[in-house]
Structure 1
Amino acid sequence: MTPRRQDKPGALIALIAVQSLCAAFFLWDVVMDLAPWDLRALTNLHIVIEALAALALVSAIVFETRYLMRLLRRKAHLESQVSIAAGAMAEIIETHFDEWALTPAERDVAMFAIKGFSVAETAKFRGSAEGTVKSQLNAVYRKADVPGRGALLGLLVGDLLDMPLVPSETRAAS
């Protein structure tokens, strides 16, 4: 699966960089306004408002950066979890296919069914007749002792949910 354009943090990083440049400019401007007047310049309402706006912008940049970092860490964690689940699902599927003694053609057709492809789509992908695919799917369902695709998926997902994704030694250590 390729990342979508909006999944990349580049635009947010660029926005934070532009805001940082603006904040640097405003802070420099406040310092330049203060230089000839020292702290007496703080009696000028314009300079006070400008200083507060610059500080608010700096605060927003700090908040945005921390929030972006937290989101990126969360995204990495979720991707890791999905990878673990996908690996576990593949392991469960292969184990069941071995137990059911599926032929290579039945394994192929079963994988297409699990992925949600129709009989017609599967036949097209495999270059075979729809009747052949239906026959192979029926053999898969018979060997799996399920009435159809939904039950097949339910069986596999049920086993995934019953399977601990983290080995018990790892959970005990944490």
Structure 2
Amino acid sequence: MKDRIIASVLLIIMVLNFFDVLTDISLGVPMWHVFEESMIVLISGIAGVFLILEIKKRTHNERLLKNKLNASTDELNNITEEMTLARRQYSQVIHDQFELWQLTQSEQNVAMLLLKGLSFKEISAVRETKEKTVRQQASTIYNKSGVEGRHDFAAWFLEDFIT
């Protein structure tokens, strides 16, 4: 906005000084004065045109950036939707496996928190149970799933993604 005001002021200065130069010539003002004012007309005209071209260039670049941003936003929304779908599907696979292992609902809750990386202490705080209870449930989960411990349990679900 400021650029447009400055360009307009420069062009007004150019036009007014141009008419002043014409008046000075008709009145017989010394040539050095006419030359000075002619330079003001020329410089303000060049500066005004340059500024107008810069405004157009910036407006064009801004439009391109907005288009790129919109395209990126659309792409991100698509990726987010895909990730949400993949996450739901993966979660369903995990729950299906819990069912195959015949984990109780309580064990399934603990198992999900284990997969999310919570410690026994954190799980007991979240579930409002004793840490010893969580340890026992974790041990039962490992036995039912046929793994050695927490790391093997998490690796069982991640194994297919890594290879």
Identify whether the pair has TM-score above 0.5, normalized to the shorter chain. yes
Q: How does 1:144-159 map to 2 (within 5 A)?
A: 144-159=145-160
Amino acid at match of 1:110: A
Distance 1:71 1:29 in 2: 36
**1:44 is paired with a residue of what secondary structure?**
helix
Distance 1:50 1:148, change over 3 A: same
Distance 1:143 1:51, change over 3 A: same
- Name the residue aligned to 2:116: 115
Amino acid at match of 1:149: R
Q: Deviations over 1:44-71 (max 9, x none)?
A: 3112211221112112211221121122
Aligned match of 1:29 in 8, 27, 41? Answer: 8
**Within the alignment, does 1:86 sit opposite 2:87 as a pair?**
yes
What is the percentage of aligned positions where both structures have the same residue? Answer: 22
Would you identify which runs of 4 or more consecutive aligned residues in structure 1 move more than 6 Å?
Answer: none
Distance 1:46 1:91 in 2: 66
Q: CA offset at residue 26 of structure 1?
A: 5.7
- Name the residue aligned to 1:15: none
- Name the residue aligned to 2:69: 68
Q: CA offset at residue 94 of structure 1?
A: 0.8
- Name the residue aligned to 2:97: 96
Provide the aligned C-alpha RMSD in A: 3.0
Distance 1:49 1:104 in 2: 72
Ranges in structure 1 where 5+ consecutive residues have no aligned partner: 1-20, 163-174
Query: Contact 2:107 / 2:141 at 8 angstroms: preserved in 1?
Result: yes
Amino acid at match of 2:75: R
Ranges in structure 2 where 5+ consecutive residues have no aligned partner: 19-41
Distance 1:89 1:26, change over 3 A: farther
**Within the alignment, does 1:105 sit opposite 2:84 as a pair?**
no
- Higher helix fraction (1 or 2): 2
Q: CA offset at residue 73 of structure 1?
A: 1.1
Amino acid at match of 2:157: L
Count of residues paired in the alignment: 138
Q: CA offset at residue 27 of structure 1?
A: 10
Distance 1:101 1:48 in 2: 78
Query: Contact 2:107 / 2:138 at 8 angstroms: preserved in 1?
Result: yes
Distance 1:71 1:27, change over 3 A: farther
Larger Rg: 2
TM-score, normalised to structure 1's length?
0.66
**1:101 is paired with a residue of what secondary structure?**
coil
